[in-house]
Amino acid sequence: MRWLPVILALWFAFPAQLLARDIHREKSLYRNIVVREEFGRRCLVFSAKRGDRNQTCMDLKHPQRLVFPYVRMTLGGLLVNPAPKKILVIGLGGGSIPVTLAELFPEATVDVVEIDEAVLRVARKYFDFAETDRLKVVISDGRVFVKRSILKGARYDFIVLDAFTGDYIPEHMMTREFLEELKSILDNGGVLVANTFSSSVLYDHESETYKAVYGPFLNFKLPITGNRVVIARNGEMPDDATIKARARQFASLLEPYDVDIMKFPRYMSRGEDWDYHKRPLTDQYSPANLLRGDLY
């Protein structure tokens, strides 16, 4: 036992990277992709300028479990639309969001848009992702797909916006024009669920942009994560009593995914906790300028 303190000291001295095992690496057209295993998890990692960022993690012993809080948070959109039939997910990652929605709603169709074909290959090989008759992936830029959907007259009642470059959300998917394009393919009463960040320098601008297009929205932030999920609707939001009743409806159904949806309503704010004097983001007013510090 005299070696125990030394062993523990060495263990905690080792950075997490040294305890991890990379089982796949490749450079795609868009990013460096790594599949890493550590602590019983397999993670899809995008290497970016600001460091490695986990996109998806799978619990190897319990693959159905949703590991990341933000992934669990996207299911908060079900409290606004509890019975989606036509679902669009922009951004594949390891596929946990579209797979979960397809399992929960086996009669629904799920379209997934992913710009990077390498991400789809990795999701298939390392994260058990598989397309079906009702779950399809299109390799395309998300905004291009939405524009084409407008021309085709396509409509969705549940849209998840989860596009991420490794550094931040693609700037052309943060603007007022893009959110208006999304709204034009969203059915009346349909819901948009957007994964953003609670500590971004763009927080005020993003919030004003969503409000300008959708009006009041649910600002969903859990204390255990730096993510926030914007839940907007093409129509009037349900009242608090309805949202709580729907949480009870889904509570047992979401237990296998490790989603405690009963606590979600208390963290969904209808108030404005941002500076509403900030300008909405537009195709001409670029988020890239803001990230360089050109705030005005």
Tokens standing for 75? 């299911």
The alpha carbons of the chain give a radius of gyration, in whole angstroms, of 20
Longest dimension (CA), the chain: 72
Q: Which of 162, 167, 258, 273 is catalytic?
A: 162
CB neighbourhood size of 31 (10 A):
20
Answer yes or no: 162 catalytic. Answer: yes
Residue 41 one-letter amino acid: R
- Indicate which residues carry an active-site annotation: 162
